[in-house]
Structure 1
Amino acid sequence: MSQVEKPRTLDGKIAIVTGASRGIGKAIAFDLASRGAKVVITYSSDRSKQPVEELIAEIESKAKSSAVGIQCNLQHVSAPQQIVDASVKAFGKDIDILVNNAATISDKFVQDITPEHFEEVFNLNVRAPLLMVLAVLPHLRRPGRIISISSVGAREGYPGIGTYAASKAALEGYTRSWAVELGLDGTTVNTVNPGPVASAMLDQVDPKTVDSQKQKTPIEHRVGTAEEIAEIVAFLAEPRSSWVTGQCISASGGYHTY
């Protein structure tokens, strides 16, 4: 993780970051902690337990903050309340920041999409963020911050990821509606749409597709880093973003501008 000292703009804040054992979620959790937030880190599998324990130790030693990990399956409707209960137990009744990061990618062309595949993708990528918001709202200390991680794929067609793209487009729709519904007390709701970012998820994409994306990226013809996405999420989590809501921010090095 980056050793650059962050301004302590989130001291006293409590944040939940789903799917934070690796990649973008891990970078977000560490960045928020580096700014003073106490962080609840969710992960789904036994193999992620050690990486999460290492991340918590790094947050405590380098970010000088606190974090807890909770293993759960966000495919299950009970998981969001389980996460909120763990946050309340660890850090008290208030929650300030929710980052919906956990997601799964699709790898099926239209003729291969089954109801089971659709359900798997949408349950994690769409239903889980909704249920997380519902579970957090009774504890949300206003003005709160709700931030979801989408994708440039929500706005451009790529072969074989239609269900994933559709799920991220649905998340954008929720973002705009939630911003209107929750904004009267100052709560903001936004989405960050990364372009190609070095991650385990990107490793599942055809290298030829990634090379093409690099060539279409104005900034240095490269993929982004998880830390670059975390910086944008941190801005949206901070008080200084109080006039930004209902937005889907393209974090893509110019690969997409919309």
Structure 2
Amino acid sequence: MAPSSPPRTLEGKVAIVTGGSRGIGASIAYDLASRGAKVMITYSSDRSKTSTDDLVSRIKSELQGSATDLQCDLKDPGAPEQIVSATLKAFGPHIDILVNNAAVINDKKIADIKPEDFDEIFYTNVRAPLFMLQAVLPHLRAPGRIINLSSIGARAAYPGTGLYSASKAALEGFTRNWAAELGKDGTTVNAVCPGPVQTEMLDKVDKAIVAPQLEATLVEKRAGTVEEIAEIVAFLAEGRSSWVSGQCISASGGHVVY
């Protein structure tokens, strides 16, 4: 995924990347490992096992890095403690970086939304990041780095994305408040807000929703790449970002939303 080897600025750090089997999450996990971090990668379904195993193998063989994975459903209330316990068992007594990447999306319009749709999206996109952070905090080595994956959808309106957009807006609210609460020891909390990025998830979204997003970009009129998002996450995970906190950083090719 990385065209060249970046400096090993995260040597000795331990990171958790939820939903790291494919797409943006996989690129983030690989990039953090390429910078020296030991990475726990979570995935949710048997369908993701092969791609996750391949990612862990690539990190170990191509980077001579340390990575492991855990299958769990983040809608399970016990999942955050399970993930943290497995991370500590694999990599030692501290965690330095939490990347809340796992998310689900649907494109149902108002009349078609069912209670179970609401529960699935808000449990995965909002509840899970909160309780992942809560589980990590007793083991977070200061100054820690918390990075949430939001979306320009948190601040833009496209028919059929109301639930997803609302969940990401809630995550951005968490981001700002967590930054205020956790910053005394130098811990930073930020969100990265991608525009359309070429992933399996994007392929599932109604093209009528994606097309205006691409048209609104100011740079090259294209979808972003997973590597471009991973680079921003890496910056936020490193010490050089120590004066950046409580921010929701758009990475959308210049797609301006308010």
Q: What TM-score do the two structures reach when normalised by structure 2? A: 0.98
SS at match of 1:201: helix
The CA deviation at 1:232 is 0.1
Per-residue CA deviation, residues 151-181 of structure 1 (Å, 9 max, x unaligned), is 0000011111101100000000000000000
Per-residue CA deviation, residues 93-113 of structure 1 (Å, 9 max, x unaligned), is 100000000000022111222
With over 3 angstroms needed to count, the CA separation of the structure-2 counterparts of 1:238 and 1:140, relative to structure 1, is same
- Aligned identity (percent) is 65
Amino acid at match of 1:151: S
With 205-214 and 4-13 compared, the bigger mean Cα shift is at 205-214
2:254 equivalent in structure 1? 254
With over 3 angstroms needed to count, the CA separation of the structure-2 counterparts of 1:67 and 1:32, relative to structure 1, is same
- Tell me the C-alpha RMSD between the 2 structures: 1.0
The CA deviation at 1:209 is 3.2
Amino acid at match of 1:48: S
Assess if the C-alpha contact under 8 Å between 2:155 and 2:257 holds in 1: no
Matched residues, number:
258
Q: What TM-score do the two structures reach when normalised by structure 1? A: 0.98
Structure 1: distance between partners of 2:106 and 2:190: 23
SS at match of 2:250: strand
Assess if the C-alpha contact under 8 Å between 1:106 and 1:162 holds in 2: no
2:230 equivalent in structure 1? 230
1:188 equivalent in structure 2? 188
Assess if the C-alpha contact under 8 Å between 2:159 and 2:209 holds in 1: no
1:204 equivalent in structure 2? 204
1:173 equivalent in structure 2? 173
Per-residue CA deviation, residues 108-153 of structure 1 (Å, 9 max, x unaligned), is 1112222221111100000000000000000000000000000000
1:106 equivalent in structure 2? 106
Structure 2: distance between partners of 1:72 and 1:52: 13
**Alignment pair present for 1:214 and 2:214:** yes
Amino acid at match of 1:37: A
With 207-216 and 105-114 compared, the bigger mean Cα shift is at 207-216
1:50 equivalent in structure 2? 50
1:124 equivalent in structure 2? 124
- 5+ residue gaps, structure 2: none
The CA deviation at 1:33 is 0.2
Q: Please show how residues 151-162 of structure 1 align to structure 2 within 5 Å.
A: 151-162=151-162
SS at match of 2:200: coil
SS at match of 2:117: helix
2:82 equivalent in structure 1? 82
- 5+ residue gaps, structure 1: none
SS at match of 2:40: strand
Structure 2: distance between partners of 1:4 and 1:211: 32
The CA deviation at 1:185 is 0.2
The CA deviation at 1:257 is 5.6
Structure 2: distance between partners of 1:187 and 1:23: 27
Structure 2: distance between partners of 1:124 and 1:43: 12
Assess if the C-alpha contact under 8 Å between 1:56 and 1:68 holds in 2: yes
